[in-house]
Amino acid sequence: MSVLPVYGKSFFSSLDRSDGLGLALRYRKGLVYTDMTIGTTFEGYDDVVHGGILFGILDVIMWYAIFLGTKKICMTRKTDMEFLKPVQCDATYRAQGKLVRVEDRDVWATAWIEDTQKERYAQASALFREAKHLDYDRFIGNFNFTGVSPEIRKLIMSAPP
């Protein structure tokens, strides 16, 4: 398991934001994941994590799965989100996702949230589109590589511009 670099300004993963989630994203065998416990600051209703927060987490997980699997920088185009059970505040869950398929500039991924017994609470699938005219070096320059292994750093830095 390897820690992934994080976008420096990300609400979901930046360690520099006191108002964010500070998720530690990891990569293993084609899966991107994070173990998380979300407090009541992000409560939607009665000790339940807001669905928008859950969607955002899964969107980020899918983005990383796509990037690591294709070396393409993509943007979310269309999503399908399913809330299966309420995700409780202050309980531990794992969000994880993987690349599904690639067709030219279109890329599909899926992600889900499960508890410690691997029971699913939410899941999403999405179509992403490869970005055009993006300065790859500038984009990657916004990432914080603190704690990232040399192997992951090499993988990311070797991605074609």
Cα dihedral 10→15→21→26 (10° resolution): 90
Could you list the beta-strand ranges (E) of 20-119.
26-28, 31-37, 43-45, 48-49, 74-83, 92-103, 106-114
Q: What is the pTM of this model?
A: 0.94
pLDDT by residue, tens only, the chain of 161 residues: 589 999 889 999 988 888 999 999 999 989 999 999 999 999 999 999 999 999 999 999 999 999 999 989 999 999 999 999 999 999 999 999 999 999 999 999 999 999 999 999 999 999 999 998 888 888 888 999 989 999 888 888 876 65
The answer to whether 121 touches 93, Cβ cutoff 8 Å, is yes
- The domains located in the chain, with CATH, are 2-157 (3.10.129.10)
Contact indicator for 105, 130 with CB cutoff of 8 Å: yes
**Residue 149 φ then ψ, to 5°:** -70, 155
